[in-house]
Structure 1
Amino acid sequence: MTLYDYVCEPELDIRLGPRPYLHPVRTLGGTVVTDALCFDHPWHLGASLTVADVNGWNLWGGRTFVRGEGYVWREDHGRIRHLSPHELVWQDGNGRTLLTEHRRIAATPASEGWELSFSYALTAPRTQAVSLGSPATNGRTGGAGYGGFFWRCPPGRAVSSAGNGSDDPALTLTVDDSYRLVFSGLAGDDRWFVRTEEYIGVCAALAYTDPLVIPPGDTLRRDIRVLITDVH
């Protein structure tokens, strides 16, 4: 059994924020623990890395939150392209490079279940800084600080060990008493963005309250780990 499928170059409408993503991801027992192209948020794509505001470009997909206006459809969508097994490029809607990324994904056995490692390094161009933002940094209230490594689960009943906005070292999500996901890897001012009511999702958010700026030529590094286990 394959533990996960990696979709490198999905053929998607630009409004869905095309990007590589993992789906389906499975437990050792075969339970699927990701969802993609969801009926409520079709731009939610399994487990993926994406940000809602990259120097003003929406790479998350869907509507853009505009201060004083709310969510509106704009022609501001970009995409993330897979160049080689470890190299990607983040582009604006005109194909210009916003960021380059080095990514490494690995699956390793664990005492219970298995662990997914998703490591990434985002490098800004030498000529300009890159600002990473979220609906929260653009004025939305209610803790909508999403943007970063995001995991969308299938519909179900979920219990989280930490609330939205927590900076706990690890966050445990138990779904339907069927499977458990343990997320870790926050750094800097990162926070957990968590949803268990409208939908089930967890994001290691890079700009939960304030924009995160990568200076010209600098690199932002994160190593996100997810322990995936069946609940017996």
Structure 2
Amino acid sequence: MTSTTPTPDRRTIVLTGASRGIGHATVKRFSAAGWRVITCSRHPFSDRCPWPMGPEDHIQVDLSDPENLGNAVAEMRQRLEADGGRLDALVNNAGISPKDEGGKRLDSIATPMHQWRTVFQVNFFAPILLARGLFHELKRAGGSVVNVTSIAGARVHPFAGSAYSTSKAALAALTREMAADFGPHGIRVNAIAPGEIDTSILSPGTEKMIDDIPLRRLGQPAEVADTIFYLCTQASSYVTGAEIHVNGGQHV
């Protein structure tokens, strides 16, 4: 791994689920603004990804494996020493939503218990374990945590499975708890709840939902990334404990 030159004034973000969709757009948004971006994904770094220091600041981690996650946190802390042990933003974007063999949603009756556990480990437990593991770095920077929830956390969704939806509802509740607990230490914690976003992993039939969206279109990953950026910068300095809907009004 190539060493980084210590630059204490540089702002740094740790981002999970960075390899595609919203995560990839978020990488580009922060990198364009001059941030150091430490990406985390179960996939290895791809040479097609365009941001500076990408290969050096990518960590391959399986968030479903608590031991692997613990090792990744230790590596993150070591890498953050180049920035004076500071972390300005942690964005918990990674999430999984398993389907049945035919690609259909798994409801609360059909979802195997081992899949419930895996979904909650990735979607719910990993965010709090990362925030706790990087607490001192976040506190040192007066940093921000953004948890990516979902519109499915507040309603039964035609494509998102029951384990995914309930894990995102739990993550929204966790966001409030974290805001109360982390706030006295100068750390803000918020969530964003995307709706139907135009990515390569859209479920077939999503286009039929456009009539239920007041803006009559799908969202773009860059629009979600812009909202994440807002929550990680001084523009939102008095915003904590919030869950911002990024769904074209679909939640109404």
Question: TM-score of the superposition, structure 1-length normalised?
Answer: 0.26
Task: Judging by fraction of residues, say which structure has more helix.
Answer: 2
Question: TM-score of the superposition, structure 2-length normalised?
Answer: 0.24
Task: Judging by fraction of residues, say which structure has more strand.
Answer: 1
